[in-house]
Amino acid sequence: MPDAATVSAITPGLLDAIRAVVGDRGILTDASDTAAASEDWRRLYKGRTSAVIRPGNTDEVAAVVKLCVAAGVPIVTQGGNTSMVGGAVPNEDGSELVLSTARLNRVRDIDPVDMTLTIEAGVTLKAAQNFAAEKGCLLPLSISSEGTAQIGGVLAVNAGGNNTVRYGNARDLVLGLEAVLPDGTIWNGLRRLRKDNTGYCLRQLFVGSEGTLGIITAAVLKLVPQPKETAVAFCAVATAADALELFARVQAHDAAAISAFELMSGLGTSFVLKHIPNAALPVEKPAPFYVLVELATPRPNAGLRASLEFVLEGALTDGVVQDAAIAESEAQRAAIWRLREEHSEAQKREGASVKNDVSVPVSKVPAFIDEATAACEKLIPGVRCVPFGHMGDGNIHFNLEQPVGADPAWFLDQDHPIMETVNEVVRKYDGSFSAEHGIGKLKPYMMPDWRGGAELALMRRIKDALDPLGLMNPGKVLP
């Protein structure tokens, strides 16, 4: 807890000095603006801040950081504020300033020969994808919140998403980085080299650091050729084990073409059908599980549809798949993807939910789902398990929806025993307690148990070395 001296450090004089750097449009102090920036997307945390600072360029970020350091004021960097773990909200006592990256919104360079995009932190992921597409390239990172999430935040949390099975996580797409360090120094590491073996890989320190080591202001991202052919199928399966068998068959047939392999439960999909306007089931009958499989290739006339049909016909004959629909148009493809991407929003509308963003080896996904379901139903009778997510890379969102009619506040109070119950199964399969959402404010207490000893000690030494005053996103990541 900051002491009283720290709390009073956000003085009118400090705000005036910051205003002199960023101008009137670079500082928001109206209650509606500060309140919106103080609450997370899931509404788990409600903090308080006296101002949201919106620098317009990297020099302004650096100047603001220097002023805050001199005043001993902590900074919470915020992009699209779509964190699932409260990673970008200020604390409750009002002692922290929010620094928004929204005005760092320029594309600095795009090169379709080098296949690189040099882009500032405040550009949304969706806009970045569009810039790449205009040049005939693909930025191969896709997450459900891409319309709002900003590049800086996406990198700060090392976002994963739907295409990890093919292209890896955000970390795998970063060639260069520019960041403002906790003392206000600007580090320009915006190199766009594919080979650069010159000492410690500093950019990777900031990717996944969740704003605790500095502020990412720009990055060089790798692009890939845009697909010339895509095929998407929505498949009904009886069990998660059947979904795994289908994955194995698609992999055996044409592993290099898989760009997404996503799992949805019947229950989670029924929430989407209930709460999201115009959502429709592409197969005839509801099933216990569904799979979205997408194949893509930059080669023209590659016969992907025939390839998908071949695998699905075999799977239907062998009873691995109950029914399947292949998208016939871009509109159908988008409608299938919507069923998957609206899962979180639909769960939010259905009631209170506790999220478990976990990963296990791909081959263990069915066993994990079965065992975690049984354990949670035993812990809270009537609880509704909604496993879904990125089956192709082993990352399952094992979310739990409150029992029908239960008090949402009571249910949310059970979050620690619920997460512990799920994590016990995760541990059994050598998995991770946070696969892609990060640690934020929600999970630092789990760190000693899962990453304790040498690993956590090393993380603390890195934090102390870079941010000795502890002013960068305090209370996140490290317990």
Residues at the site binding ligand MLT, with contacts judged by CB under 6 A: 84, 144, 343-344, 355, 357, 389, 397, 399
Structure tokens at 416: 């620690």
Smallest gap from residue 461 Cβ to ligand MLT (A): 31
Could you please report the per-residue DSSP string of 35-46? HHHTB-TTS--B
Structure tokens at 90: 């200020």
Residue 120 near residue 154 (C-beta atoms within 8 A): no
Smallest gap from residue 436 Cβ to ligand MLT (A): 6
* CB nearer ligand MLT, residue 64 or residue 272: 272
Assign 411 to helix, strand or coil: helix
Residue 256 near residue 167 (C-beta atoms within 8 A): no
Could you please report the per-residue DSSP string of 22-85? H-GGGEE-SHHHHHHHTB-TTS--B---S-EE--SSHHHHHHHHHHHHHHT--EEEESS---SS
* CB nearer ligand MLT, residue 176 or residue 392: 392
Structure tokens at 21: 């750097």
Smallest gap from residue 346 Cβ to ligand MLT (A): 10
- Give the C-alpha separation, 89 to 53, whole Å: 14
Residue 152 near residue 217 (C-beta atoms within 8 A): yes
Rounded to the nearest 10 degrees, the angle between the axes of helix 343-350 and helix 266-275 is 80
* CB nearer ligand MLT, residue 175 or residue 400: 400
Task: Count CA atoms closer than 13 A to 181's CA, side-chain side.
Answer: 16
What is the gyration radius of the CA atoms in the chain, in angstroms? 23
How many residues are present in the chain? 479
- Residue where the block lists tokens 């997510």: 389
Tell me the β-bridge partners of 264. Answer: 290
Count of H helices and E strands in the chain? 18, 19
DSSP secondary structure letter of residue 106 = -
Residue 470 sits at φ, ψ, to 5 deg, of 65, 40
Smallest gap from residue 438 Cβ to ligand MLT (A): 11
- Give the C-alpha separation, 260 to 401, whole Å: 25
Tell me the β-bridge partners of 235. Answer: 291, 324
DSSP secondary structure letter of residue 25 = G
Tell me the β-bridge partners of 52. Answer: 28, 98
* CB nearer ligand MLT, residue 158 or residue 297: 158
Q: How much of the chain is in helix, strand and coil states, percent to nearest 5?
A: 40, 20, 40
Determine the residue with CB nearest ligand MLT.
Answer: 344
Residue 176 near residue 191 (C-beta atoms within 8 A): yes
Smallest gap from residue 300 Cβ to ligand MLT (A): 31
Residue 52 near residue 39 (C-beta atoms within 8 A): no
* CB nearer ligand MLT, residue 55 or residue 140: 140
- Give the C-alpha separation, 473 to 401, whole Å: 30
